[in-house]
Structure 1
């Protein structure tokens, strides 16, 4: 089952769902069809199919709940190793530049510890252990402030003016500033473009 925003069933709902699964197992053993089981237990046919598949592969234990999902936990030794690997830098792990991103750290955790987690889970893990995001304190060496200022004063107003005069932006244009175009057809001579 998939739930929005990483949610899931409560313990009571999981117990109810497990009880229904065990009732379905009794009906599987009696060779009932999935549609009949779904109607009797008031579940979807798809759930009945999924439970039947789990029952075939793992028996009654295949239908039982695996428990609530939990965030991946790393031991203190694993956290210490992760910190050492992060200090070595991304280049040591095969990336082209020296920038750690959450996606890269997530991949590194998977490679080192065979633990799967989300990008958000990676951020929470790092935050719990004292890591925080950083923004470069210095500007790039290649930055030319004079060129940036010229671009901002000369080029950007032209780009902005072109964007606001494009199709679909009639709310930004002044009344009467639109040009009429000649349209082929019987009325083509009656409308002339302004000059």
Structure 2
């Protein structure tokens, strides 16, 4: 894994999981890693390295290095920096998302709902109460899964009369008897 050695040589750490490392530092995202490659390429441009050498050191195709070199020659190192993602700005900023997280962690009953169960409609109402911003169901889903990191949880459907010991007894004694009778 040549890229691990290269990243360590330039002081960049990469962890594929999205968890925080032991040092308390979040791992670099894919766009940050790509930018680190381009920054390293700029350093190598300035040292006079050839396109093929840079491509091998950075781990990209030579055509990418040629494209980076043209951008660098026309706009300097700033031309190779990361740009913000295109599109509309999120309706909720990071502080509002944290307010929503705190509100949701209090539970649904804290907001007057009968059961402590979150639905998209309920979460949308809480977001509106907490932030004053009305979101569609799809946007509420994106906030929950993307920005908060929550996932869909469905309650198991089981009969209230279910007797686990009787089920275990049936599996241990009755099922083998039935199976033998075939």
TM-score, normalised via structure 2 length? 0.37
Please tell me whether Structure 1 or Structure 2 has the larger radius of gyration of its CA atoms.
1
